[in-house]
Amino acid sequence: MREVPFGEWSATVLAVREDGFTFFDWLSAVDQTDAEADAGFDLVCHLIDVGVPADGRGLRSVLLRTRAADGAAVPSLTGVFAGAAWHERETHEMFGIDFDGFDDGTGLGLRPLLLPDGFEGTPLRKSFMLAARASKAWPGAKEPGEGHESTKAPGRRRVQAPGVPSPDWGPR
């Protein structure tokens, strides 16, 4: 993983593309707003060099990461890779991150992509409260500190793999 200073994000992606990494694989973000130092969002971009591998080990790839402060507009990569438009729209919708200079050729700007009309909020942020979680108890395991930690759930019955005889099979 290559760390990229925030101010050099789009220039670094362009330089890496010029170095042969011409296939844009994906872009997303990771919410790090609860970090003690330098809180914000990690933007991550994966690029692949689809040229013939020289060493026989497979295709080269690079993972680029930069940290954007909460509320900062990230330079758009749509001028470098047109395929980044879908990923930037998704990241904008799910995390609330704005992309400065976004252009997917429609002139409509950053707009909803996956969520239903009228949906409010950014569901992949750590601060987003799931509606189902607020209205009823979590159906799975209890949260740490809840319930009776000393009570152990019953284990599963062991099942033999197909074709394996039971332990009591054979001469005694």
Q: How many domains does the chain have?
A: 1
Residue 80 lies in a domain: yes
Could you tell me the pLDDT band of residue 51, with boundaries at 50, 70 and 90?
confident
Q: What are phi and psi of 171, to 5 degrees?
A: -70, 150
Structural domain includes residue 168: no
Within a domain: 65: yes
Q: What is the 3-state secondary structure (H, E, C) of 110-147?
A: CCCCCCCCCCCCCCCCCCCCCHHHHHCCCCCCCCCCCC
Mean pLDDT of the chain: 86
Range with lowest mean pLDDT among 2-6, 103-107, 136-140: 136-140
pLDDT in tens, 13-29: 999 999 999 999 999 99
Contact (CB, 8 A) for 51 and 37 = no
* Residue-wise pLDDT tens digits, 125-162: 998 887 666 666 655 655 555 555 555 566 666 666 66
Residue 157 covered by a domain: no
Q: Which domain holds residue 34?
A: 2-135
Which is it for the CA torsion 112, 61, 80, 5, positive or negative? positive
pLDDT bracket for residue 11 (50, 70, 90)? very high
Length of the chain measured in residues: 172
Specify the CATH number for the domain of residue 54. 3.30.460.80
Alpha-carbon distance 73 to 71, whole Å? 7
Asked if the structure places residue 163 within a domain, the reply is no
Asked if residue 142 belongs to a domain, the reply is no
